[in-house]
Amino acid sequence: AAAMQELGRFDEAAALAAEAVAIQRELAVADAKNVRLQFDLAASIQGQAVLEFRRRRFDAAAGLLSESLTLFDAGLTASPESREQ
């Protein structure tokens, strides 16, 4: 997805990012206690939000950022030692 963004092919990048996030969601749901997977999902959703911002889809970007922050917060609550990293 990053390469597509660099080429300015935002629609294709968005499709690839959505596919990657869908796979990460499945992994995170399958292993809900794995905080690393939760953080990885949150970071990917954050990246998806940046992409939506670049596509000028501000409402979509805001929703994704909100979701990402919720996941980061939940991960930090579940694993307070992660704040140190």
55: left (phi over 0), alpha (psi -120 to 50) or beta: alpha
**Residue pair 8/55 in contact by the 8 Å Cβ criterion:** no
- Distance between CA atoms of residues 49 and 33, nearest Å: 25
Confidence of residue 8 (pLDDT cuts 50, 70, 90): confident
Q: Residue 51, Cα to own-chain centre: how many angstroms?
A: 11
User: What's the average model confidence in pLDDT over 5-29?
Assistant: 89
Look at residue 26 and give its three-state secondary structure.
Answer: helix
| Residue 36, CB-side half-sphere exposure with 13 Å CA sphere | 1
Q: What does the pLDDT look like over 19-71, one tens digit per residue? A: 999 999 999 999 988 999 999 999 999 999 999 999 999 999 999 999 999 99
pTM for the structure as a whole: 0.85
